[in-house]
């Protein structure tokens, strides 16, 4: 599964974006690997649009040193998020919505049109 990862490099003071590949056999294993990448114990899911979701550490604002981002969705909703951001595809089925591999055209569109602003580094927890 391909994931589009956006983070902030505190050594170079630049936003970084990478495509990360993960392999898994079960949805539980997928979830554990996503948590590992986010360095978190849980995650929040926000819809960037109908097809793409943003995954973020559910306790990102509790970790001093996390970058803070402002992201505008395609529906003009503004999210303020702390920590690394993972972009995945929504896979809809009868019982739930699962996470799937991001497509090349999604990455192209995110690189060219993602409205994201780096707001700073979390100096104290909320």
pLDDT digits (tens, 9 = 90+) for 110-123: 999 999 999 999 98
Q: Who has greater pLDDT, 97 or 40?
A: 40
Q: Is residue 9 part of a domain?
A: yes
pLDDT tens per residue across span 54-106: 999 999 999 999 999 999 999 999 999 999 999 999 999 888 889 999 999 99
Give dist(CA 83, CA 115) in Å, integer: 17
**Residue 126 within a domain:** no
Range of the domain at 59: 2-121
Residue 63 located in a structural domain: yes
Q: Does the structure show a pLDDT above 80 at 125?
A: no
Where helices occur in 1-126 by DSSP H, the ranges are 27-38, 104-113
Using an 8 Å Cβ cutoff, are 89 and 1 in contact?
A: no
Give the number of domains in the chain: 1
């Amino acid at each position: 599964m391909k994931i589009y990862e956006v983070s902030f490099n505190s050594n170079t003071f630049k936003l970084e974006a990478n495509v990360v590949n993960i392999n898994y056999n079960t949805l539980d294993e997928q979830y554990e690997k996503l948590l590992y990448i986010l360095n978190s114990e849980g995650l929040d899911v926000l819809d960037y649009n109908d097809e793409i979701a943003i995954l973020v550490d559910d306790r990102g604002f509790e970790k001093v040193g996390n970058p803070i981002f402002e992201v505008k969705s395609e529906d003009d909703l503004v999210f303020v998020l702390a920590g690394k951001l993972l972009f995945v595809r929504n896979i809809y089925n009868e019982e739930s919505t699962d996470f799937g591999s991001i497509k090349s055209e999604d990455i192209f569109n995110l690189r060219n049109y993602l409205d994201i602003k780096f707001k700073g580094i979390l100096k104290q927890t909320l």
